[in-house]
Amino acid sequence: MKRIFVVDWALLASFVIIAISGIVMHILHDHYGHCFCNRSPIMNLWDTMHIVAAVVFTLATLLHVWQHLAWYKQIFKSGIGSRSKVSLLLTLVVVVMIVTGGVLWFGPCNNHLGLWHMWIGIAMAVAVAYHVIKRWKVLVKSLK
């Protein structure tokens, strides 16, 4: 399998783990609390899974952007034009998610930022679903 597809599959797998763990953490939030100060072991487990998958996703995203650097350069050179606006929107949403996630990881408890991170994550899930659906045939073909 070509390296570009390995990165694509790593992105998809890590995003699925991020989405599932994020949803579970949101559900558990009401019962166990959100801040790190008084977390239950189950909340810590889901949080750790979310963070590890997010680190993998971030590294895979950097590789993915590097692999498609010509596409990004062309946007700066000649504008969006007929290029996928969803892909560009997804890029921007991913950057915001990485930044807000990093602030939440390294910074103090901030429920407002956590809510922003959650709602942007929902928007990101929609954009990722669209992006993957458009490319699904090529992804599946890469497994053969």
pLDDT tens column, 105-122? 887 776 688 888 989 999
- CA 2 to centroid of chain Cα atoms: 22
Give the model's pLDDT for residue 50: 93
Closest CA to 58 of 100, 89, 27: 100
pLDDT tens column, 69-81? 988 888 888 877 7
pLDDT tens column, 45-71? 888 999 999 999 999 999 999 998 988
Both structure tokens of 82: 């007929």
- Every domain of the chain and the residues it spans: 3-141
**Alpha-carbon torsion, ordered 122, 123, 126, 130, to 10 deg:** -150
CB 67 within 8 A of CB 7: yes
Residue 38 predicted with pLDDT over 60: no
Give the model's pLDDT for residue 51: 92
Its CATH architecture, for the domain 3-141, is Up-down Bundle (1.20)
Residue 22 predicted with pLDDT over 80: yes
Sign of CA dihedral 84, 126, 63, 134: negative
